Structure 1
Amino acid sequence: MYIKNPEEIEKKSFEIIKGNMKSPESFTEDELSVVMRTIHTTGDYDYENIVRIQNGAIEVAKRLIESGCRIVTDTKMALSGINKRTLEHLGCRVENFIDRPEVYEKASLQNTTRSMAAMDMAIEDGVDIFVIGNAPTALYRIGEHIESGRTSPGLVIGVPVGFVGAAESKEYIRQFETPTITTEGNKGGSNVAAAILNALMYMVYRA
């Protein structure tokens, strides 16, 4: 016999995760929800040690989500991992700019990555929440715009994965007063970024 009901599977998974964490009591209830969902997504208990939540990020996120915010991702994978049904119920909108012709053109003209050009375009249009899971250059670009005063996003979820600039880009974004949810080191990914946003949305609405 095995569990077949999806809700029961998820409930049991989170019970197991919490039971195997070293110190779940060190987190608030909302923080624990975020951390456990990153563990659930990756199967990696190290996320208990590396998730960083700064500057009232969760409370800010809940207010933005409740108000029907605009969200931009760095990758289509992050976009696909976000729960669209919940997003629709909340009246929020999520977009990805990476494949737009003008992004290709701008990246080529400026000799930058498409991720950087996509963030430039998103900032020009106005964004409440950035969800960055793959591209350190995207996170660096957001930080540069914050530093210059060209943008002041409500929340940055910044968890790019990799070995070239990933850890450093997250350290860079953490230096600002912007509410952020990040990871330390090279771990992360589009699936983790989407999981964090889903955790935040489920705090506001759960279908």
Structure 2
Amino acid sequence: MVLIQNYKLLWILVSMLLLSIVHVLNLKVTWYHQMMNSLNYGRTLMDYVKNPKAIEDKSMEIIYDYVKDLGLTDDEVRVVSRTVHASGDVEYAQLVKMSPDAVQKGIEALDNGADIYTDVEMVRTGISKPALKIRGNEVHCLIKDENVAKMAKELGVTRSIAAMRTFGKQLEGQIVAIGNAPTALYEVLRLALEEGIKPALIIGIPVGFVGAAESKDYLMEVSPVPYITVKGNKGGSPIAASVCNALLYTDVKRNDMLFVEGKESK
């Protein structure tokens, strides 16, 4: 009888001990999860910057370290910085090539009312609408035009060639921004060299592995007008648009205002 009572007492004590251990473990697990959640929550809030101006300023501060020693003018720094910002690729600081005074010629053309003619809608979409509205410039693209499609089919050429050919004399004294098709860039150069139709500035930044690098090398070799380009296969519509935006933002105050407004308006 005494032995049975001792077993019962022992069982009760063991049960109580086990319950205590489980309780302590639960408390520790709960505390651990609360601590980790608190750390993650705090880290998210500290690192998450919502203010667009603060994001812009910090980005340009970081980018400036990559462009400050390139021997560029302030306006040229703005152009190169925008390509780095748009691509997230600091290699653009070394790849952007421009003829002497190209940036200044582009700014002057826009100040005098020049429009921007582009090969694809993506470039047009990427150009700041608030900047265009304030300055009064427009962007033109014919890639979706039915007559252009018909011409391309009849001639056996790309729509980009047909679009630039359709623009023709309209390109005289204007800004041409090529962000996709090497064939469009070749056609603009043909118009300038063979027909004497000379834009104020050619922004030639097609992207890809077939003809893109070659067309940009050709631009740098033979262009009779100022140009801005990106050497090699890199480039594309966002980069071409970023160059256009840099030209549209002709001073620091306007640059800041339009960039933030443009981002918020999209």
Judge same fold: TM > 0.5, yes or no. Answer: yes
The question of whether the paired residues in 2 share the 8 Å contact of 1:55 and 1:178 is answered with no
Residue in structure 2 matched with residue 109 of structure 1 by the alignment: 154
Compute the displacement of 1:124 (Å): 3.7
Amino acid paired to 2:238: N
Which among 185, 193, 197 is matched to residue 240 of structure 2?
193
User: Per the alignment, in what secondary structure is the counterpart of residue 49 of structure 2?
Assistant: coil
C-alpha change, 1:147 and 1:25, in structure 2 (3 Å) is closer
The question of whether the paired residues in 2 share the 8 Å contact of 1:158 and 1:182 is answered with yes
The question of whether the paired residues in 1 share the 8 Å contact of 2:193 and 2:224 is answered with no
Alignment RMSD? 1.4
Residue in structure 1 matched with residue 194 of structure 2 by the alignment: 148
* Larger RCO: 1 or 2 (CA < 8 Å, sep 6+): 1
Structure 2: how far apart are the matches of 1:3 and 1:184? Answer: 34
Residue in structure 2 matched with residue 129 of structure 1 by the alignment: 175
Residue in structure 2 matched with residue 171 of structure 1 by the alignment: 217
Residue in structure 1 matched with residue 131 of structure 2 by the alignment: 86
User: Per the alignment, in what secondary structure is the counterpart of residue 250 of structure 2?
Assistant: helix
Q: Runs of at least 4 residues of structure 1 off by over 3 A?
A: 22-25, 124-127, 204-207
Residue in structure 2 matched with residue 158 of structure 1 by the alignment: 204
The question of whether the paired residues in 2 share the 8 Å contact of 1:158 and 1:181 is answered with yes
Structure 1: how far apart are the matches of 2:144 and 2:67? Answer: 42
The question of whether the paired residues in 2 share the 8 Å contact of 1:155 and 1:179 is answered with yes
Question: Are 2:96 and 1:96 aligned?
Answer: no
Normalising by structure 1, report the TM-score: 0.94
Structure 1: how far apart are the matches of 2:56 and 2:106? Answer: 23
Compute the displacement of 1:55 (Å): 3.6
Structure 1: how far apart are the matches of 2:180 and 2:113? Answer: 25
The question of whether the paired residues in 2 share the 8 Å contact of 1:69 and 1:91 is answered with no
User: Per the alignment, in what secondary structure is the counterpart of residue 210 of structure 2?
Assistant: coil
Structure 2: how far apart are the matches of 1:115 and 1:135? Answer: 7
User: Per the alignment, in what secondary structure is the counterpart of residue 178 of structure 1?
Assistant: coil
In terms of fraction of residues, the more strand-rich structure is 1
Question: Are 2:111 and 1:66 aligned?
Answer: yes
Compute the displacement of 1:26 (Å): 2.2
Superposed CA offset, 1:79-105 (max 9, x none): 100001101110101011001011001
Normalising by structure 2, report the TM-score: 0.74
User: Per the alignment, in what secondary structure is the counterpart of residue 249 of structure 2?
Assistant: helix
* Identical-residue share of aligned pairs (%): 42
Gaps (5+ residues) in structure 1? Answer: none
Gaps (5+ residues) in structure 2? Answer: 1-45, 259-266
In terms of fraction of residues, the more helix-rich structure is 2
Count, aligned residues: 206
Amino acid paired to 1:200: L
